[in-house]
Structure 1
C-alpha cells in the first residue's frame, strides 16, 4: 500500500523578508555646496517638527536678520503659502556642539512655521568647523532667495565690520566688503535712525528704503527742538492694524509715515511757527513786491520778496531801502 505523501504548502513571504530589504532605512538626501575656491562641503536634509523648532534651533551669529522685528506682518509674504503648502525652499543650518541647529538664513521661514504649525526642512552642513566666517557668508549670499535684508539690518552689519576692522570711514568698509560707497552710506544712515522712530511701522524692517532719509531728517528736527523721539511718538494715535486687514502692508507703512510728518508739522512746522494769516506788512513798488510775516511768538520776522528775475543789484538795494523806510517810519 502506497502511503500518500502530505501535500506541500508554499509559505508566502512579505516583501523583503529573509533578506532584510524591508528594514533598510531610506537614504538621507544630500547635496554639496561649492565655494569660490573650489572646496566642497556636504549637507544632509532633515525636517524639524514645528513643535521642536523653538527648542532645537537658534539664530547663528552671522544671521543678520533682526529677530525682534519678526511678526505676522513681516512674514505676510510667505505665511499664506506656508500654511497651505509648507516650506518649499529649505533653510541652511549648522549643528552646534550642544545639538542645537543654528539658522544661517531661514529665520523668517522658521517663524512662519511656528505660526502655521508646519515643519521646517533644512540642510545641515557637515564638517562646519572647517568653514570660516567668510566661507559661511559666501554660502549665505549664494542662497539669499527670500526677503532681502533691510538697509537697517545691513547697516548694523557694516557697523560691526567697522568696529572689528577699526575702520574710520564708509569708504574703507565699502572696499573691504566689495560694495559701493554710496550703498554703505545709505545703510549706515538707516541704522542711525532712532529705533523707536522705526518701530512704529507695522513691518519696521520692511519699510521702503526711501523712508530712511525722511525719518533721519525728522529725527534731526526733533533734536533741534530738544524733543525726544519717545515724547514725540507718545502724542500720535496710530491705527490698530491687524494682519487680517484688507489694507496692504505698503499702504499701512505709508499711512504711518504720513502721520509722523503731519504730527511734526503741526507741532514744529512752518504753519505752527508762523501761522497761516499773520501778515503785518505788505509792500508794493514799481520794482517789486514784499510781504513780511511775524512768528506767533512775536520774536521773528520773515520777509518774502517777489522781484523780476533780471533785477540788478542797484535796483535790489533801492527796493530794500524803500521797504526799510515804510517799516520803520
Structure 2
C-alpha cells in the first residue's frame, strides 16, 4: 500500500501439511467454505497436473502461515493433494487487505461475498450513501444500487449460494430477485427450498 518493498522467504509446504500449517487470513473476503472442487474448476485441473505454479503470499502467525494472497490456490492444493509454495513476509493488516484485493483481479469475489463486506460497511458507516462514498475514497467505484443488490444477495442462506457450481454464477441482479423471493416466502417454503 505504501509503495515500498518487503523481503519474502520461499517455503514449500508438503501436501500432507497444507491444511494444518496454513490458514486463510480472516481479512480475506472470499468465503472459504464455498471453494469446492466445482467452484475451483477453472484452476483445479492445472493444479492437479502441474502443481501450484505461482506461490501464495503469507505471514507467519504463531507458527501458522496466514495466507494473504492465494486462497483459491491454497484450496486447490488441498483438493489436489499437492505441495504449496508460499512466500512468507512480515505483513501488516493493511498489506494483507491490499494483497487480497490484488489477488481478486482474476476472479472477483461473488456478489454474496461482496454483500457480506458491504453489509458490514453500511452498518459501520450508518447509510448506503456513506458506504458508497467510503468505497469511492478507497478506489472502489460501485454504485449504491450494486451495493444494495449485493447485500440482498448476501441475505440469502449460504446453502443456496453453495448450490451453484461457483458462487459467481449468481449475479447480483439475480441474487437480489432471489433474495426478494426468499424474504417474501413462508417458513415452509424456505425449508422446501433448502
Q: What interval of TM-score do these two structures reach, taking the shorter chain for normalisation? A: 0.7 to 0.9
Question: Within 1, Cα distance between the matches of 2:158 and 2:104?
Answer: 25
Instruction: Go from structure 1 to structure 2 and tell me whether the alpha carbon gap of 1:70 and 1:142 turns closer, same or farther (over 3 Å shift).
Output: closer
Q: Which residue of structure 1 lines up, in the alignment, with residue 33 of structure 2? A: 68
Match of 1:322 in 2: none
The structure with higher relative contact order (CA 8 Å, sep 6+) is 2
Q: Show structure 1 runs of 5+ residues with no match.
A: 1-34, 235-329
Indicate whether 1:170 and 2:128 are aligned: yes
Would you say 1:124 and 2:88 are equivalent positions? yes
Distance in 2, matches of 1:198 and 1:229, equals 14
Residues paired across the two proteins, number: 188
State whether structure 2 residue 112 is matched by structure 1 residue 148.
Answer: no
Mapped partners of 1:38, 1:86: distance in 2:
31
Asked whether the 8 Å contact 1:196–1:229 carries over to 2, the reply is no
Which whole-Å CA distance do the structure 2 matches of 1:80 and 1:99 have between them? 30
User: Residues 187-237 of structure 1, C-alpha deviation per residue, up to 9 Å, x if partnerless?
Assistant: 21211223343333343x2323143023123214424xx64411x226xxx
- Tell me if the contact between 2:152 and 2:180 (Cα under 8 Å) persists in the aligned partners: no
Runs of 4+ in 1 over 4 A off after TM superposition: none
3-state SS of the aligned residue for 1:172? helix
Q: What are the within-5 Å matches in structure 2 for residues 67-146 of structure 1?
A: 67-96=32-61, 98-126=62-90, 128=91, 131=92, 133-146=93-106
CA shift digits 1:234-273 (9 cap, x unpaired): 6xxxxxxxxxxxxxxxxxxxxxxxxxxxxxxxxxxxxxxx
Structure exhibiting the larger radius of gyration computed from Cα positions: 1
TM-score normalised per structure 2: 0.85
Which of the residues 184, 190, 194 maps onto 1:229?
Answer: 190
Q: Equivalents in 2 of 1:94, 1:39: separation in Å?
A: 17
Which consecutive unaligned segments of at least 5 residues does structure 2 have?
none
Q: 2:6 matched to 1:41?
A: yes
Q: Scaled by the length of structure 1, what TM-score is found?
A: 0.52
Q: Deviations over 1:291-321 (max 9, x none)?
A: xxxxxxxxxxxxxxxxxxxxxxxxxxxxxxx
Larger relative helix fraction:
2
Q: 1:94 touches 1:125 (CA, 8 Å); kept in 2?
A: yes
Spell out, residue by residue over 1:164-199, the C-alpha distance to the aligned partner (whole angstroms, 9 max, x if none).
xx3221111121122322332222121122334333
Corresponding residue number in structure 2 for 1:185: 148
The 1:67–1:142 alpha-carbon spacing in structure 2 relative to 1, beyond 3 Å, is closer
Deviation digits for residues 104-139 of structure 1, max 9, x if unmatched?
13222112112222111121123x2xx2x3333223
